[in-house]
Structure 1
Amino acid sequence: MRTPRGRRTTYGATALIAAGALALTACSSNDDDGGKKGDGGGSKPATSSVQLPKLDGQKLQVAAVWTGTERNNFLKVLTEFEKRTGAKVDFVPSGDDMAGFIGSKIAGGGPPDIALLQQVGVLNEFAGKGWIKPLGAAAKAELAKNYTKGWQDLGAYKNTQYGVYFKASNKSLVWYNVKAFENAGVSEPKDWKGFLQTAQTISDSGTPPVSIGGADGWTLTDWFENIYLSQAGQAKYDQLAKHEIKWTDPSVKQALTTLGQLFGKKELLAGGNSGALQTQFPTSVTQTFSGGDQPKAAMVSSADFAAANISQTKAKLGTDAKVFPFPAVGAKSPVVTGGDVAVALKDSKASQALLTFFASTDAARIWAQAGGFISPNKNLDRSVYPNSAMREIADALIKAGDDFRFDMSDQAPASFGGKPGQGEWKALQDFLKNPSDVAGTQERLERDAAKAFGG
């Protein structure tokens, strides 16, 4: 499938790491090292479990986008909740368009009790319409105990707490094929100039350097956001995310021009520009780590959830596949995050209990141990993650504290930031096709943003 905007957070993990916090390239791929102290360790395991009420006979419906392995791992969390409370929980697959799914259920009078949303903009929209219910006292207390203010604020609307960010992802990583780097005689670049130089050297060695899943427009928004945050800074990023400045602003021109330094050299892209536009996200990852000595690409910029796709190849994390922070375009590398936030559409004892459970270390531990998951829960012992790569990514996320910015397009109305074939996705796909058209791209982005934001 095309991995819609929200699905970015569902391939296996949302937060980026502050510059210097990621020492991931030395991470081991061993899954049996037991999370030894000092190996991305983190806090000590919790000694007490969250207290949940008895809910014998009560039924809940939980909607989420997850499928396959992710769905199965999430069901383990729900099963534990059932065991502890006596409630019965049914998982309802929403499909990729969660906003549309919930809207239709609301219109039909039968919404699920809990939904896992992927966009801040959708949470704000639902809260403004009165579709979701505020957190109860127990859920708020558990949230306050385990989450920093930044993550709490992302789940709030007009100073009222509505959501619990259960699952997170680091969106500012570049995964690379170690063999391809060795063959080209290059090392991990630290800044954008070094990144372009590294890409050119790899290209000259005979391997296409950069894999881009341009068929899924959200991958292009990630490229833009990382460059923009690092180059323009947090204040400008916040203004653009809220459409307080226009997309015709000089800072956007600068970021698109910078991105065009990569997109404008087809030899740096696996398959060239046309090939990148036809490549879906999963393939953009797997082709980087398949083919032995002749992979189709050497690098792919992707969140931590790319680990799930890498696992489908013969490459071993930490040995054949390593990762470095998105290169600094400005003074430092960016810190961009995303995530899945649990909200209640029905205010009941059972739904509030499940939100309380989601806010606990108990729930986070279950999926973390299963793999393909990063939690923003600061009190989760990082040793529960199944390998050193995931432990160090999780540890860096927690150490970043509130020094991050949430994915910009996920903050926008879905019509601009989260729909295939329109808005930001389409404008950036057109830009990938014609990276010299900076001014035209800005005009299209501003026109679509103004319509979506109502300004």
Structure 2
Amino acid sequence: MMRRRTTLLTGCTALALALGATACGGGPVSAGGGDKALSGQTVTVAGVWSGSEQKNFQKVLDAFTEKTGAKTQFVSTGDNVSTVVGSKIEGGNAPDVVMVPQVGVLKQFAKKGWLTPLSPAARRTVTADYAPVWKTYGSVDGALYGLYFKAAHKSTVWYSPDALTQAGVKPPKSYDELLKAGHTVSDSGLAAFSVAGQDGWTLTDWFENVYLSQAGPEKYDALAAHRLKWTDPTVVRALTTLGRLFQDKQLVAGGSKEALSTDFPGSVEKVFGPKPEAGMVYEGDFVAGVAHDQYGRSIGKDADFFPFPAVDGGKAPVVSGGDAAVVLKDGKNAKAGMKLLEYLATPEAAAVWAKAGGFLSPNRKLDLASYGDDVTRATARSLVGAGDSVRFDMSDQAPAAFGGTKGTGEWKLLQDFLRDPSDPKGTAAKLESAAAKAYQD
């Protein structure tokens, strides 16, 4: 969600050393071909990024300037992209390009008539170099508006190699093996999992991985669009499966009470901080940034990951999130903004941030050698290799009132479920009631 983007993806700083910002590749691209064709023009870009993420994206913008001559200006919107961008449009000061962190917001912008469809050149690149699923998530009513430049891999379970070695367990391949391994870790003296229950979005990610693997992609898509009700037996089954972990005090560090007072950074600290309390923490690839930057963990040595395991014989899930670049109709320099999108679509642009760290690209043409370490290369390989089986974060596809608001909707109801997972059917009914209202409004 938008809130999570600014508060924790800023922790996705370099997994290894920042290696400079010189663009690689060198073949001619749509964005001017290096002939300074846009000299004298300025492209304004708005997005949620701040801190290290903003600095690394600026390296990409600087490479665009070097190639085309266009100057750029980045405006950090904070949490609420739609409100900030809406107010700028109303004030006659619309940015040219917006980096949108949610499918739901992209759809909202398109429905309001704010967006310009991608140029033929950008469409050709997306068709050729991206899995079709990214085109689907960037489209509204058949028109392609969004170019997914930055992605997240949300099907990674991070662990302390020392903790698993001490317990004598190997990374599990199934959910049942995951719980079994967790009990073995617990028997060795550490809790199995650190759960960030204070941040409701982490619980939606837990649910989405279980649901995608157990119910399959078609049901996942239907539930994400609310064509399937949350009272469906597949939802109850997924909640029941998740509840097996949540209700087990041996598996969750400090039990549900402590989990509900642990935020995302705190959950990483419990595994990779100076006084470890758990052996594993589930969340996206951005866990590595916090483990490395905050606690000095060497990624691949002191901190590693295994894929979220398959549930009940299903396929191992690959849930993603991402930031899509869109061009606003009302921007003062929308044509130059579209040239920026054409550049962002190239592996050359992606390589700039990949070298700096804290970044994954859905672009299949990006050389994996561009990433600074083996673990990031592995997560990128998993994301790109999943092709059309990737599914976008379900709560990011929902109306914010249901899937993205603290203290209400899915976030609040899954926190209640973590507190007491004894009634999956009742929780499903409450989720359906909240979803029905949000999708109707």
Q: Deviations over 1:145-198 (max 9, x none)?
A: 322222112111111110100001111110101111122222111111111111
- For 1:319, give the aligned amino acid: K
1:4 paired to 2:3: yes
Aligned residues: 426
Runs of 4+ in 1 over 3 A off after TM superposition: 5-13, 29-32
Match of 1:383 among 361, 366, 369: 369
Q: 1:264 to 1:119 in 2, by over 3 A?
A: same
CA RMSD of the aligned region, Å? Answer: 2.2
Q: 1:238 to 1:30 in 2, by over 3 A?
A: closer
1:134 paired to 2:117: yes
Contact persistence 1:9–1:339 (CA under 8 A): no
CA distance in 1, matches of 2:425, 2:73: 49
Structure 2 equivalent of residue 355 of structure 1: 341
- For 2:222, give the aligned amino acid: Q
Question: Secondary structure at 1:63's aligned position in 2?
Answer: strand
Structure 1 equivalent of residue 129 of structure 2: 146
Contact persistence 2:149–2:324 (CA under 8 A): yes
1:270 paired to 2:269: no
- For 1:307, give the aligned amino acid: A
1:300 Cα shift?
0.7
Percent identity at matched positions?
50
| Larger relative contact order (Cα-Cα within 8 Å, sequence gap ≥ 6) | 1
Contact persistence 1:174–1:300 (CA under 8 A): yes
Structure 1 equivalent of residue 312 of structure 2: 330
CA distance in 2, matches of 1:273, 1:73: 37
TM superposition score normalised by structure 2: 0.92
Match of 1:392 among 360, 374, 378: 378
Q: 1:305 to 1:239 in 2, by over 3 A?
A: same
Match of 1:313 among 285, 291, 295: 295
Structure 1 equivalent of residue 21 of structure 2: none
Question: Secondary structure at 2:350's aligned position in 1?
Answer: helix
Contact persistence 1:6–1:118 (CA under 8 A): yes
Matches within 5 A, 1:269-288: 269-288=252-271
1:229 Cα shift?
0.8
- For 1:255, give the aligned amino acid: A
Matches within 5 A, 1:162-181: 162-181=145-164
Q: Deviations over 1:339-366 (max 9, x none)?
A: 1100111362211111111111111010
Structure 1 equivalent of residue 67 of structure 2: 84
Structure 1 equivalent of residue 38 of structure 2: 55
Question: Secondary structure at 1:66's aligned position in 2?
Answer: coil
Higher mean displacement: 217-226 or 427-436: 427-436
Unaligned runs of 5+ in 2: 19-23
Contact persistence 1:76–1:366 (CA under 8 A): yes
Unaligned runs of 5+ in 1: 14-28, 33-44
1:342 paired to 2:342: no
Match of 1:188 among 151, 171, 188: 171
Q: 1:168 to 1:322 in 2, by over 3 A?
A: same
CA distance in 1, matches of 2:2, 2:295: 19
1:256 paired to 2:239: yes
CA distance in 1, matches of 2:75, 2:95: 8
Q: 1:165 to 1:12 in 2, by over 3 A?
A: farther
Question: Secondary structure at 2:272's aligned position in 1?
Answer: coil
Structure 2 equivalent of residue 160 of structure 1: 143
Q: Deviations over 1:262-285 (max 9, x none)?
A: 111123212221211111112211
Question: Secondary structure at 1:50's aligned position in 2?
Answer: coil
Contact persistence 2:45–2:72 (CA under 8 A): yes
